[in-house]
Structure 1
Amino acid sequence: MKKLSIIFSLVLLLSSCDKFLDINENPNYPSDVSDELLLTSGIAAVTNVYCADWGLIGSFWSQHWAQNNTSSQYKIYESYAISSNTNVIERSYRAMFVDGLSDNEIFLKKVEANENWGAYLMGAVIKAYGFQYLVDMYGNVPYTEAFLGLDKLNPIIDRGEDIYANIYQLLIDALDKDFSNYVIENYELNDIIFEGDIDYWAEFANSLRLRILLRQFDANSAFATAEITQLIADMEAENIYLLDKDVAVTNFEDADSKSNPLYESDQRQLNTTNNLKACATFVSYLEANEDTRIESLFTPVSGVFLGLVPGSYNVPSTEFEAPNLIASPIVEPEMPVYWMTFAESELLIAEAYLRLGNVEMAKAYYESGVAESFSRMGADIGDLLSGAYAFPTSGFNDQLKAIIMQKWVDAAEGGRGIESHIERVRTGYPEETTINDQIQVGYTLPAEYIPGTLIYSKKGTTGGILPRRFPYPDSELNFNSNAAEYKALSDADVILQKVWWKN
Structure 2
Amino acid sequence: MKKYKAILLLAIASFSLNSCSEDKMDDINKNVNNPTDVPSHFAITDAMTSTAFSNTGSDLSFYSGVYVELNAGGSGQMYNAETRNGEPINQTTYNNSWNNQYQTMYNLKLIIEKCTTGTEKGNYTTLGIAQVLYAYNLALLTDMYGDVPFTEAFQPGVIFQPKLDHQEDLYKIVFATLEDAIVNLGKTSNYPVLGNQDLIYQGDKTKWIKAANGLLARYTLRLSFRNPDYAKVLIYVSKSFTSKNDEFKLKNNDIPNPYYQLDNARGYLFASKSLSDKLNARANDPRAEGYFTKIRKTSGAPLTYEFFVNGESPQSQNYSFSALINRNNPIFMLSYHELLFIKAEAEARNSDAVTSTASLTAAVNAAFNKDEVINFSTTNAANYVAGLNITNNADLLKEIAVQKYLSFYENECVEAYNDYRRLLAIYGSAAAHPIQLANPLNAAKFPLRLTYGNSDVSANKNVTEAFGDGTYVYTEKVWWAGGTR
User: TM-score, normalised on structure 1?
Assistant: 0.78
Per the TM alignment, residue 207 of structure 1 is displaced from its structure 2 partner at its CA by 0.7
Instruction: Determine if the alignment matches structure 1 residue 63 to structure 2 residue 69.
Output: yes
Aligned to 1:425: 421
Aligned to 1:229: 231
Alignment of 1:284-363 (within 5 A): 284-289=277-282, 290-301=284-295, 304-314=304-314, 323=318, 326-357=320-351, 363=357
Q: Matched residue of 1:109: which SS? A: helix
8 A contact 1:353–1:361 mirrored in 2: no
1:167 to 144, 152, 174: 174
| CA shift in 2, pair 1:6/1:322, >3 Å | closer
Q: Distance in 2 between matches of 1:288 and 1:303?
A: 23
Aligned to 1:280: 273
Q: Distance in 2 between matches of 1:91 and 1:495?
A: 21
Alignment of 1:166-245 (within 5 A): 166-177=173-184, 179-182=186-189, 186-221=193-228, 225=229, 228-230=230-232, 232-233=234-235, 240-242=239-241, 244-245=243-244
Q: Matched residue of 1:208: which SS? A: helix
Q: Distance in 2 between matches of 1:475 and 1:297?
A: 37
Per the TM alignment, residue 85 of structure 1 is displaced from its structure 2 partner at its CA by 4.4
Per the TM alignment, residue 184 of structure 1 is displaced from its structure 2 partner at its CA by 8.5
Deviation per residue, 1:325-346 (Å, 9 max, x gap):
5344532222211111100011
Aligned to 1:365: 359
Letter in 2 for 1:9: I
Q: Distance in 2 between matches of 1:392 and 1:110?
A: 55
Aligned to 1:21: none
Aligned to 1:155: 162
Q: Distance in 1 between matches of 2:204 and 2:130?
A: 13
1:89 to 85, 94, 103: 94
Q: Matched residue of 1:468: which SS? A: coil
8 A contact 1:288–1:451 mirrored in 2: no
8 A contact 1:55–1:416 mirrored in 2: yes
8 A contact 1:370–1:406 mirrored in 2: yes
2:406 to 404, 409, 412: 409
8 A contact 2:161–2:461 mirrored in 1: yes
Letter in 1 for 2:480: W
| CA shift in 2, pair 1:170/1:283, >3 Å | same
Q: Distance in 2 between matches of 1:207 and 1:73?
A: 34
| CA shift in 2, pair 1:387/1:232, >3 Å | closer
Aligned to 1:439: none
Bigger Cα Rg: 2
Per the TM alignment, residue 303 of structure 1 is displaced from its structure 2 partner at its CA by 5.7
Q: Matched residue of 1:338: which SS? A: strand
Q: Matched residue of 2:94: which SS? A: helix
8 A contact 1:249–1:336 mirrored in 2: yes
Aligned to 1:374: 368
8 A contact 2:149–2:162 mirrored in 1: yes
The gaps in structure 2 that reach 5 residues or longer are 11-34, 296-301
Q: Distance in 2 between matches of 1:357 and 1:367?
A: 18
Deviation per residue, 1:429-454 (Å, 9 max, x gap):
999987xxxxxxxxxxxxxxx99631
Instruction: Determine if the alignment matches structure 1 residue 466 to structure 2 residue 446.
Output: yes
How many pairs were matched up? 436
Instruction: Determine if the alignment matches structure 1 residue 476 to structure 2 residue 462.
Output: no
Deviation per residue, 1:84-133 (Å, 9 max, x gap):
645441111011111x1111111111122312222222111111111112
Q: Matched residue of 2:439: which SS? A: coil
Q: Distance in 2 between matches of 1:314 and 1:148?
A: 47
Q: Distance in 2 between matches of 1:134 and 1:205?
A: 17
Per the TM alignment, residue 298 of structure 1 is displaced from its structure 2 partner at its CA by 1.9
Per the TM alignment, residue 480 of structure 1 is displaced from its structure 2 partner at its CA by 1.7
Letter in 1 for 2:234: I
Q: Distance in 2 between matches of 1:77 and 1:430?
A: 25
8 A contact 2:91–2:451 mirrored in 1: no
| CA shift in 2, pair 1:243/1:108, >3 Å | farther
Aligned to 1:445: none
8 A contact 1:63–1:279 mirrored in 2: yes
8 A contact 1:432–1:453 mirrored in 2: no
8 A contact 2:253–2:328 mirrored in 1: yes
Deviation per residue, 1:359-413 (Å, 9 max, x gap):
6597332211110110125204634534456676554432222112112111113
For the aligned residue pairs, the C-alpha RMSD in angstroms reads 3.2
| CA shift in 2, pair 1:313/1:220, >3 Å | same
Letter in 2 for 1:282: L
Letter in 2 for 1:345: L
Aligned to 1:76: 80
Q: Distance in 2 between matches of 1:66 and 1:77?
A: 9
Aligned to 1:499: 478
Q: Distance in 1 between matches of 2:197 and 2:451?
A: 34
Q: Distance in 2 between matches of 1:349 and 1:125?
A: 21
8 A contact 1:281–1:452 mirrored in 2: no
Give aligned-pair identity as a percent.
22
Letter in 2 for 1:35: S
Alignment of 1:127-146 (within 5 A): 127-146=134-153
Per the TM alignment, residue 200 of structure 1 is displaced from its structure 2 partner at its CA by 0.8
Q: Distance in 2 between matches of 1:83 and 1:277?
A: 19
